[in-house]
Amino acid sequence: MISAIATQGRYSSSDWVTQYRMLYSDTGRNWKPYHQDGNIWAFPGNINSDSVVRHDLQHPVIARYVRMVPLDWNGEGRIGLRIEVYGCSYWADVINFDGHVVLPYRFRNKKMKTLKDVIALKFKTSESEGVILHGEGQQGDYITLELKKAKLVFSLNLGINQLGPIYGHTSVMTGSLLDDHHWHSVVIERQGRSINLTLDRGMQHFRTNGEFDYLDLDYEITFGGIPFSGKPSSSSRKNFKGCMESINYNGINITDLARRKKLEPSNVVRLFTPK
C-alpha cells in the first residue's frame, strides 16, 4: 500500500522533473492513473536537482507496480528523477470466481430480518455483466448488486404491499467502465429505507420505494451469482467472473470464513493470497 512519494532530480545536474503523474497496477499490464479531488492528478515536482519534494497521498493506493510519467521538466536540462515510495505491505485474501461459482453465507436461523445493513467488498473484473451479491425472501424482499454494461446496479425491495411488488422495487445505477480489471470498492449502508451507496469514494444517498423498513431474507445471501431456483431471475443473469476481496456482511468477514473453509460453496471457490 503506497501512502507517499518523494522525488529529487539527478544529482548535481540541471536534470529534474517539475510535474509528473503516477500510474499504478497490480498486474503490470493494466495501468490506472492516480486521482485526487475527482481528477487525474498531476504532482508538482522539483525546482532544482538537490531538494526533496514529498507528497502524502490523499488516498493511499494498493498496487504491486508504480509508474511515473514526466509531464514537464527543467528546460535547461533533461529528464532526471530520483524516487522514493513510502507505504507498507498489504495482505488480503482474494476469492476467484470463474463464472460458475456461487459463494453462499447461510443464516443460522434460516431467516434474517434486519432494519440496518452494512455490506462492503472490493471487486475486479474484465466482464461487463455479472451478479456480485444476491439475497431474497418469500415475502417478496430481495437485494441484488450486479454489473450491467460495466455499470454497477443496486436493486432492493423491502417487501410486497397492497400495491404489489413493483411499487416497492428500487434500483440505482452508478459508475461506468467497471470492467477495467482494476479494483473497485463498494459499501452499502442501509438504515430502514435510507440508503448510502458508495463506489470508489463517490457516495449516492437515496430512499427506497414502498412502505416497509425491514429486509427479510430466507436461508442465505450469496456472492458471485444467484443460485438456480427455477425462477426466471436465477437463469437470465450471468454469474460474476473475476475476483473479490474484503467481503464483509453486517460485521461478518465472509472472505475469512471462506479462507478457513467455514462456508460451503455451490462449486469450488479458489482462494489465494497475492505474492
| The residue count for the chain | 275
Q: What pLDDT is stored for residue 272 in this prediction?
A: 45
CA pair distance 17, 7, nearest whole angstrom: 9
Q: Do both 191 and 133 map to the same domain?
A: yes
Residue 271 has which C-alpha cell? 482462494
Average pLDDT of the residues in 186-201: 96
Last residue of a domain, one of 87, 111, 132: 87
- Rounded percentage of the chain residues whose pLDDT exceeds 90: 67
CATH number at residue 45: 2.60.120.260
Q: Do both 246 and 167 map to the same domain?
A: yes
pLDDT band for position 239 (50/70/90)? very high
Q: Do both 189 and 166 map to the same domain?
A: yes
- The boundaries of the domain holding residue 192 are 94-272
pLDDT digits (tens, 9 = 90+) for 66-121: 999 999 999 999 999 999 999 887 777 888 898 887 899 999 888 899 999 999 99
pLDDT band for position 165 (50/70/90)? low
Contact by Cβ (8 Å): 257, 107 = no
Q: Do both 22 and 109 map to the same domain?
A: no
Given a cut of 60, whether residue 232 has pLDDT beyond it is: no
Q: What pLDDT is stored for residue 275 in this prediction?
A: 40
Last residue of a domain, one of 67, 87, 107: 87
CA pair distance 22, 27, nearest whole angstrom: 16
Residue 67 has which C-alpha cell? 509508474
Question: In degrees rounded to 5, what are phi and psi of residue 257?
Answer: -60, -40
Contact by Cβ (8 Å): 115, 194 = no
Q: What pLDDT is stored for residue 259 in this prediction?
A: 81
Q: Do both 17 and 150 map to the same domain?
A: no
Closest CA to 193 of 167, 158, 143: 158
Is 0.75 surpassed by the pTM of this model? Answer: no
Q: Do both 69 and 136 map to the same domain?
A: no
Q: What pLDDT is stored for residue 117 in this prediction?
A: 97
Last residue of a domain, one of 28, 53, 87: 87
Q: Do both 55 and 143 map to the same domain?
A: no
The C-alpha cell 453486517 sits at 250
CA pair distance 180, 212, nearest whole angstrom: 37
Compute and round to an integer the Cα radius of gyration of the chain.
23
Q: What pLDDT is stored for residue 161 in this prediction?
A: 67
Rounded to the nearest integer, the mean pLDDT of the chain is 89
Q: Do both 142 and 163 map to the same domain?
A: yes
Q: Do both 71 and 103 map to the same domain?
A: no
Q: What pLDDT is stored for residue 166 in this prediction?
A: 57
pLDDT band for position 152 (50/70/90)? very high
Q: Do both 83 and 98 map to the same domain?
A: no
Q: Do both 170 and 262 map to the same domain?
A: yes
Q: Do both 168 and 257 map to the same domain?
A: yes
> What's the domain count of the chain?
2
CATH number at residue 196: 2.60.120.200
Q: What pLDDT is stored for residue 274 in this prediction?
A: 43
